[in-house]
Amino acid sequence: MAWLVVRLAISVSLLYAASAVFEDQVGKFDWRQQFIGKVRFALFDTHSQASKKLLVATDKNVFASLNSRTGDLFWRHVDKTGPEGHIDALLMYGQDAVVVVGNGRLLRSWETTVGGLKWETVLDTGSFQAAALVGVQDLVKYVAVLKKSAISLHDLSSGSQIWGENLPDSDSVQYQTIYSGENGLVFVLGIVPNSHIVIVEYKIEDGEIMNKKSVEAAWMSSLESSCAVVSSGILLCVDQITQSLYTLPLQSAEQTEMRQIHLQMLDLEVASGFRPVLTSTQPNPAQPPLSEFFLQLSPDHHILLQFKDGLIALLRDFSPVRTNACSINLFSADTGRKHLDTTIIYHMDPNGGKPNRLYVHAFLKKDDSVGYRVMVQTEDLTLTFLQQPGRVVWMREEALADVVTMEMVDLPFTGTQAELEGEFGKKADGLLPMVLKRLSSQFILLQAWLAHLWKLFYDARKPRSSVKHEVTIDILSRDEFNLQKMMLMVTASGKLFGIDSKSGTILWKQYLENIQPNSVFKLIVQRTTAHFPHPPQCTLLIKNKDTGLGSLYVFNPIFGKKSQISVPTLPRPVLQTLLLPVIDQDYAKVLLLIDDQYKVTAFPSTKNVLQQLQDTASSIFFYLVDSSQGKLSGFRLRKDLSTELIWEVVIPTEVQKIVAVKGKRANEHVHSQGRVMGDRSVLYKYLNPNLLAVITESTDTHQERSFVGIFLIDGVTGRIVHEAVQRKARGPVHFVHSENWVVYVYWNSKFRRNEFSVLELFEGAELYNSTVFSSLDRPHAPQVLQQSYIFPAPINTLEATLTEKGITSRHLLVGLPSGNILSLPKMFLDPRRPELVSEQSREENLIPYAPEMPIREEWFINYNQTVSRVRGIYTAPSGLESTCLVVAYGLDIYQTRVFPSKQFDVLKDDYDYILISSVLFGLFFATMISKRLAEVKLLNRAWR
């Protein structure tokens, strides 16, 4: 028997041996785009003129190097998410980039050319305040890190700590900034709010306190926001209330009071209610900062000032200009004069946001004139790299690093295809006109084909490099098998993207302004492209978490244009939405919005729709899950669009809390209504379209008492169909609910491993009602089968493949933290896997039960194209039954196709057309010749 099991296992493993991508298929139908996120620090590598590097650190805890010529990534390091990997500071000197990570937990030095780690030191505990490079005699040798109560100095080349000192009176004084001049001293500046400033001088060599003084500054509340060090060690502060600047030389021992300079003396005035900001620049850390500095007086009013011999002189006033195009000019810091021929006009994208940060790299050209490059970051997280004279070198859409939700929409037919389709839809108006119409449309198709041929011929003559395969919206049309689709992506920053799924080209983008950072989005496709000439229509529901109010944004998913349709205003907070299969006269599906008083708003709400809603109201149900109260409630729609509560299930929040609820996908088709047993009888599936899988986690997180619960609840009647509890388990739980099964993953805290569990529901050997399914008439409870498996890796996300008709076998797509996406056959997650192999189970092709789930490298659908921090996987059916489109998104976006049952409906890529056609032609000619010969022979014989 054991031998049999082994043989079976081998044969099964052989079955799946060739499911990986072939080498020559790499990049053929898949693509990956890598992102970094919102840039927080960006530094140009200035140590050599030809350097193309641009170092960036972002809010996604990514530290990367960009090619400033192309915008591509040279290298990228993705740190842990959350505060643990947060990049606090980025300093650069020569080939070294020093990064402080995790609120002052680690100090790292990176080699910038290849991105290798030079050294890493663990810093003492304490919250991070500031870091600075410390130079001695024009050479930067050290890096100083200021914590809340300590300061440490590290060697730049090895990372070893030179000295570390506790700061005096650190419980009363808030030390905030650090400054090092050229004279072997490190100044630490602290403040006691609304009282005085503390300045401590340290000797670089051994950390000895050279001097400590306190200066009265009763008006000051924060050092960081109102002060800057300019020139050679002059502390400059600005006060909003007295409208004056204060100066203090850091080093002088005698001066113990700040000198006040009224802004009125400079004819300046701070805008009311605005907190003025000082900005100083220190181009070389081994030298003191420039004596010129910026003073911001209002949100868009900046002044360039100069500090010289204790006096402040105004160099230039940059007053606000209100236009649609921004221009960037280069000014000399010494004089405040504008450099000639340095204007770059920056055209703002009407669908984009306003620019909010500039990163400028100025350099001397060969002819000693000044040139510069600039990277502009806008509100919608677009990075635009501009070069003189106003040329956009590259653009990056960093909003895509944070995709919240997405959909895939079929592309429309071309005009000719649509005409041909439309022909069948029209009423017949006589035989002859129909024939003529058909002929004319065929003629148009022929014309289009000839034009296409001509274009091919024309392109073929040109050298390959000059032929651009650009994708534009105008030439977009559905392909033969509907494999190319439009990907709609909604990002957390409120920017929408339309991306061609074949190439990954961004075809349109739209920035929605005034989106709160914690908004919730729900994207709904109301009308697909199938209803020509009505344009497709998508609706985005944006809900503000703070106010609870929602708004609708209706747009055309193919062109990204905002629709002119009047949108209902939502005066009350929206709780949930429900897309009905009911369509209005324009073929748009009806969207119901449920507000906090359980009243329903329909969109669109034409008379026709309201009439239809009245007719079908009694069969429309919806459920709401309130996790904070642990309450699941079901409602039924009344004819007047109000609702009545029909059931309620309370899961006590003291014991467990609801973490997730999932129904089944609306576009899912199940081809087979049952499973064939070994004895050729049928075990019918329990395919309840109204079934909900509710996952709960225990509030007690102790490893002995924690548990994960799963409830299968009928969403119409509130009946609990099944419940299961996984003891000594905890989340995060990832799960998929599809067909008649639920697969969920949890952490087994007893055995310290991840486990998969599968629940499958069957009706039994007979169907209760094979024609209609009603949750209200289900007297028999389903049979539930369950099995669990060990999975040897943690999991980020889980999704199942989806195909057009549901004939193809299903695979589970598992996003692993390593960035790989595993395509796991559902066959392995089958609760009917027998422990002992029998004749019948072999007949059924059941794999014998093995507790361990294998991970095979060839099951990774994205080979080496890992997706960092994969957060979600989206699957969509294509026109081919064998093919499922997959998009994995996280920090990166990866698109590919998967074939769970191989390409059973497609000829192989290496199909030998030449051999087959030559054999066919050969046979054809052989038949012709032999026929002729036979005729001749017959005739000859007849003449004999």
Partner 1 sequence: MTSPGGGALAARGGATVKRMKWSLELSLGNSRNRGDRQSKDGDVMYPVGYSDKPVPDTSVQEADRNLVEKHKRQALVCVCVCEAFKLLESSSQQWLQGLVYLIGNLLGSALAIYKCQSMGLLPTHSSDWLAFIEPPQRLEIMGGGMVM
User: Which region among 485-493, 623-631, 649-657, 721-729 touches partner 1 (by CB under 8 A)?
Assistant: 623-631
490 binds partner 1 (CB under 8 A): no
Instruction: State the binding string over 387-426 for partner 1 (x if CB under 8 A, else -).
Output: ----------------------------------------
Instruction: Choose among 259, 252, 277, 122: nearest CA to 187.
Output: 252
Q: How far is the CB of 706 from partner 1 (least distance, A)?
A: 22
Rg, the chain, Cα only: 35
Q: How far is CA 683 from the centre of its chain?
A: 41
Q: What is the DSSP letter of 592?
A: E
**Cβ closest to partner 1, residue 325 vs residue 942:** 942
User: Which region among 17-25, 85-93, 340-348, 678-686 touches partner 1 (by CB under 8 A)?
Assistant: 678-686
Among 362, 578, 649, 837, binds partner 1 (CB under 8 A): 578
**Cβ closest to partner 1, residue 788 vs residue 808:** 808
**Cβ closest to partner 1, residue 542 vs residue 886:** 542
Quick check: 250 and 231 in contact, CB under 8 A?
no
Coil, helix or strand at residue 822: strand
Cβ neighbours for 55, distance < 8 A, ≥ 6 positions apart: 41, 42, 43, 44, 45, 63, 64, 65, 66, 90, 92, 97, 112
Burial 303-330 (b: 16+ CB within 10 A, else e): bbbbbeeeebeebbebeeeeeeeeebeb
Residue 702: Cβ within 10 Å count: 10
Q: CA-CA distances (angstroms) from residue 233 to 223, 262, 287, 682?
A: 15, 21, 10, 86
Q: Which residue matches tokens 């280069």?
A: 330
Instruction: Choose among 373, 484, 438: nearest CA to 68.
Output: 373
User: Which region among 395-403, 702-710, 731-739, 934-942 touches partner 1 (by CB under 8 A)?
Assistant: 934-942
Quick check: 38 and 77 in contact, CB under 8 A?
no
Among 94, 689, 792, 922, binds partner 1 (CB under 8 A): 689
Residue 177: φ, ψ to 5°: -130, 165
Among 205, 206, 421, 626, binds partner 1 (CB under 8 A): 626
Residues 82-121 that bind partner 1 (CB under 8 A): none
Instruction: Choose among 341, 365, 369, 346: nearest CA to 356.
Output: 346
Q: How far is the CB of 568 from partner 1 (least distance, A)?
A: 17
CA 617/CA 578 separation, integer angstroms? 13
Q: How far is the CB of 839 from partner 1 (least distance, A)?
A: 14
Residue type, 920: L
**Cβ closest to partner 1, residue 744 vs residue 756:** 744
Among 12, 314, 473, 575, binds partner 1 (CB under 8 A): 575
Instruction: Choose among 905, 903, 927, 907: nearest CA to 915.
Output: 907
917 binds partner 1 (CB under 8 A): no
CA 27/CA 352 separation, integer angstroms? 31
For 330, the token pair is 């280069």
Among 663, 792, 854, 922, binds partner 1 (CB under 8 A): 663
**Cβ closest to partner 1, residue 479 vs residue 644:** 644
State the helix-helix crossing angle for 431-461 and 415-425, rounded to 10 degrees: 160
653 binds partner 1 (CB under 8 A): no
Phi-psi region of 226 (alpha: psi -120 to 50; beta: other; left: phi over 0): alpha
Length of the chain: 944
Cα four-point dihedral sign 153, 159, 161, 166: positive
Residues 494-553 that bind partner 1 (CB under 8 A): 520, 522, 541, 543, 550
Cβ neighbours for 820, distance < 8 A, ≥ 6 positions apart: 860, 862, 866
**Cβ closest to partner 1, residue 522 vs residue 833:** 522
Q: How far is the CB of 701 from partner 1 (least distance, A)?
A: 22
**Cβ closest to partner 1, residue 643 vs residue 823:** 643
Residues 692-751 that bind partner 1 (CB under 8 A): 715-716
571 binds partner 1 (CB under 8 A): no
Quick check: 218 and 195 in contact, CB under 8 A?
yes
Q: How far is the CB of 640 from partner 1 (least distance, A)?
A: 18
For 688, the token pair is 């309840």
Among 322, 427, 469, 944, binds partner 1 (CB under 8 A): 944
Among 273, 581, 779, 851, binds partner 1 (CB under 8 A): 581
Among 127, 672, 699, 701, binds partner 1 (CB under 8 A): 672
For 503, the token pair is 């190439």
Q: How far is the CB of 521 from partner 1 (least distance, A)?
A: 9
**Cβ closest to partner 1, residue 754 vs residue 797:** 797
Among 335, 442, 619, 809, binds partner 1 (CB under 8 A): 619
User: Which region among 140-148, 213-221, 335-343, 656-664 touches partner 1 (by CB under 8 A)?
Assistant: 656-664
The DSSP string of 895-922 is EEEE-TT-STTS--TT--HHHHHHHHHH
User: Which region among 53-61, 210-218, 666-674, 902-910 touches partner 1 (by CB under 8 A)?
Assistant: 666-674
Q: CA-CA distances (angstroms) from residue 280 to 277, 294, 418, 449?
A: 10, 6, 62, 64
Among 136, 162, 315, 580, binds partner 1 (CB under 8 A): 580
Among 627, 703, 783, 786, binds partner 1 (CB under 8 A): 627
690 binds partner 1 (CB under 8 A): yes
User: Which region among 9-17, 345-353, 578-586, 790-798 touches partner 1 (by CB under 8 A)?
Assistant: 578-586
Q: How far is the CB of 774 from partner 1 (least distance, A)?
A: 4
Residue 890: φ, ψ to 5°: -170, -120
Instruction: State the binding string over 757-786 for partner 1 (x if CB under 8 A, else -).
Output: ----------x-xxxxxxxx----------
Q: Which residues contribute to the site for partner 1 (CB under 8 A)?
A: 520, 522, 541, 543, 550, 574-582, 592, 594, 616, 619-627, 658, 660-661, 663, 669-670, 672-674, 676-677, 680-682, 687, 689-690, 715-716, 767, 769-776, 938, 941-944
